[in-house]
Structure formats: C-alpha cells, structure tokens
Amino acid sequence: MSKRFFLKATAALAAFAAMGAAQAQTTPIKFQLDWRFEGPAAFFLTPVAKGYFKDAKLDVTVDAGNGSGGAVTRVASGTYDIGFADLAALMEFHANNPEVPNKPVAVMMVYNNTPASVMALKKTGIKTPADLAGKKLGAPVFDAGRRAFPIFAKANGIGNVAWTAMDPPLRETMLVRGDVDAITGFTFTSLLNIEARGVKAEDVTVLQYPDYGVKLYGNAIIASPKLLKENPAAVKAFLLAFTKGAKDVIADPAAAINDVKARDGIINTELEIRRLKLAIDTVINSPDARAEGFGQVKGPRLSLMASQVSDAFNTKTRVNPEAIWNGSFLPTAKELDILPKPKK
C-alpha cells in the first residue's frame, strides 16, 4: 500500500466520519400546527422549504392540526416536541390539569392579537356588539372566539345570547342560510369562507375582538418542558430559523403560498394568499405587535389575560401567567425586528 493511497484513504474515512458526526448532530423536531395547511401555515412551511431549519441542524417535520386544544395535548403527551396553539387554550390546559407533569410552555408569540371575531350578515341589522343581545350565535364548542366570548360580552355590556354548536365545516354555511344570526371564528378563516359561499365581504359585519376592548394574545409557539430542559439550544435554533422564515413570508406572501401548495396541492392559491395577507395585517404586523416587538409579550397584559381566561373558562385553578410563558429562548431584539413599518 503506497503512502499516497494510505493518506487518501485516511482522508476519505475522516471526511465520512465527519459527515456522519454532522448528521448525528441534527436534532429531529416534530411540529404540530393548530389547523390545516392554509395560508398562515406558510410561517412554518417556508423555513422548512428554504432549508432554514436544516441549516440550524434541525430536522423539522410539520403536521396539520385540528385545533389549538389538540396541539396543546399532543405536545403535553410527548407525541410532538413543539406546536402552535392559541394562548388561551394553553392557559386553560395548565389551570385544569395542575397534576400533569409535562405541561407545554409558550416560548414565542406569533399572533400578538387574538384573530377571533363575531361575524354577521349586514341584512340581520347587527352593526355593533350591543346588537348581539338576544341573538342566536353559532360556533363549534371548542372555537377560540366562542370560548372567549364572555370576555368580549363583558367588555361590551352584551346581554344574553343563545348558542348553537356545529362542526367547523358547517359554521359559515349555517350563517349564510340564516340558521344562526352570527358566528364566532378567526377573521381570516371565517370571512373568506363566507365569501366562498357567495356573500360579498362588504355585506358582512366583522366585530374583531381587539377592536372592542379585548386584548387577548393569540397563537404562540409552544414547546415541551422536556425539550426545553434537555436541548435548549435546539429550541433557540428553531425560533431563530422560524423568525428568518417569517421575515420572508411577510415580505412576499404570494411566494410563501407555494410552500403551502407543495404540502396540499388542492388549496385555492389566490384565496390562501388573501388569507395569509389578512392574518399578517390583523394579528402579526398589528399596532400592538409593533409596539411590543415581534415574538414578545408584556407582563401586565399577560397577567390580565390569565385572569380573564380563569374567569371566562371557569378553570379548576387560577391561571399562573409565569408558568405558561418563557421568553428566554427568543432571538435578540435585533433579530426579532422583522415587522415592516405601516404603509401611510
């Protein structure tokens, strides 16, 4: 065996070993969305598609969800490492399951405002929250807007309403048919679904919770305490890669929808671009988000929400805001500075 051959073979083995070591250092992350592969899912699918997670030594798999409650319980069970869920749903889980050891923790705020709103057809005469008194409202029992409606009602002095429950696909259909007077739902979900059923946007009254005194936070990235303890570096890397992707999504929503379509080929591209833009404008690049900083929360507002959720959801124990939030894994303020200035 020549010396040259030996050196080449040794170098090749070293390179192979280094490649194997690099692959071994890649951390697998199972991520649970709150909902289907619709426009807002681009915030998580784009950093996958662009390789930002991969560059951060993370092997991230993103699965569609069926509601925030499911995302919380799946992270709590250990089936998923990280998820995306409504903060109120996380608070409720904490307060109703004090004995559960692996309660997920919110590590980054994405929807600085709740996307919940009440929607009604203008022909019903509903123009303000006060007009809802005595009306028939519809929503799935687990809908975030329905769960938080007592907070909205208290803030606006709304009298008693009657509720009708239905499965999510029937919500907007029942409104358009006149089976209910109004519905609750995420604005960027239900408004576009109403339009898809033949009603023009200008014929819909939209009472967005944040516009009527309800300053609840919306969806946050939640993580398993086990992951936070055992691999904090992976959590920090995930949030930084996500932030990089989020900046791209906000800058070019139309391009980002291609990453959603790659996961669900039957989506209506134009509709999902509109849905994504509506989500960005109403809950991500909102005045509150720009004031507080992308990804972050403010203590007094978080404490107020914890108290409101405890009352409205009639939880077993009071929500402890310090137990549900940990901002120590966030990127730096400079790295989080991704929100464009509002157009004049």
Domain spans of the chain?
27-113+217-329, 116-212
pLDDT, tens only, 209-256: 999 999 999 999 999 999 999 999 999 999 999 999 999 999 999 999
Strand partners, 27: 58
Per-residue pLDDT at 22 = 45
Q: Which CATH number is 116-212's, of 3.30.565.10, 3.30.420.140, 3.40.50.620, 3.40.190.10?
A: 3.40.190.10
CB 146 within 8 A of CB 163: yes
Per-residue pLDDT at 113 = 97
- d(C-alpha 4, C-alpha 330), whole Å: 50
**Whether the domain at 27-113+217-329 and the domain at 116-212 fall into the same CATH topology:** yes
- In the block, tokens 């869920």 appear at 85
Closest CA to 264 of 34, 47, 37: 37
- Residues in the chain, pLDDT under 70: 1-24, 344
Per-residue pLDDT at 8 = 61
- d(C-alpha 237, C-alpha 112), whole Å: 21
Q: Coil, strand, or helix at residue 169?
A: helix
Per-residue pLDDT at 21 = 45
Instruction: Kindly report the CATH number that applies to the domain delimited by 27-113+217-329.
Output: 3.40.190.10
Per-residue pLDDT at 342 = 77
Sign of CA dihedral 167, 170, 172, 175: negative
Per-residue pLDDT at 3 = 59
